[in-house]
Amino acid sequence: MLWLCIAASVFSFTVLLLAYIARKVSSDWRDVPLPTVFLASTGVILASSLTLHIANGAFRHERFTQYRLYLGTTLFLGTLFVVLQVLGWRELMLKGVYLQTTPSGSFLFVLSGLHLLHIVVGLIFLSIAFAEAMRRIPYVEAFVYSVNPPNLLKIRLFTLFWHFVDVLWLCLFLFLLYHHGV
């Protein structure tokens, strides 16, 4: 099911990027520079993938304190990404760029907003995983949780989704950087 959702997301963003390219040749197109804070948010989202990767390794090797620490760090970084994206939108609006101002501005808001929706969904699942990890502080409880196949599957699927949205943002950012500049 997750692979189907990922495929649908890839298809949706591909269609939007193709529409972007097709629309860019119009006479009313005016490039809008990317908000500079989007560069920082890209670093933050890449760091969150690294911390989640470390958290998963800790989980597999029964280092549950380290797992909780890195899972919490990933949650913090994901939340920081959201804040930075909102600050990027604020930066655009302070420059007079709104959803309806220019076609390039509209695409910028729609693409980053749709991606942000994916991040928020991921943050919900990450929050649930972090709350479950914090409820199982004693080693025995954490160990029993860690060997339960449905729990292992849940963590593996969540990690796959999180890495997907990180790679998706990297691709979007590079595409927009190439077409807009900072």
C-alpha R_g of the chain: 19
CA-to-CA dists, residue 134 to 68, 100, 145, 168, angstroms: 7, 44, 12, 29
Percent of the chain with pLDDT over 90: 71
The per-residue pLDDT for range 67-115, each reduced to its tens digit, is 999 999 999 999 999 999 999 999 999 998 988 888 889 999 999 999 9
Decide: 82 and 116 in contact? Cβ < 8 Å. Answer: yes
Set out the domains of the chain in order of their start, with CATH numbers: 39-180 (1.20.120.80)
Across 15-23, average pLDDT: 94
Nearest to 30 by CA among 113, 86, 94, 107: 107
Give me the pLDDT at residue 181, please: 64
Give me the pLDDT at residue 151, please: 84
b/e per residue, 68-89, with b = 16+ CB within 10 A?
Answer: bbbbbbbbebbbbbeebbebbb
| Phi, psi (rounded to 5 degrees) for 25 | -80, -5
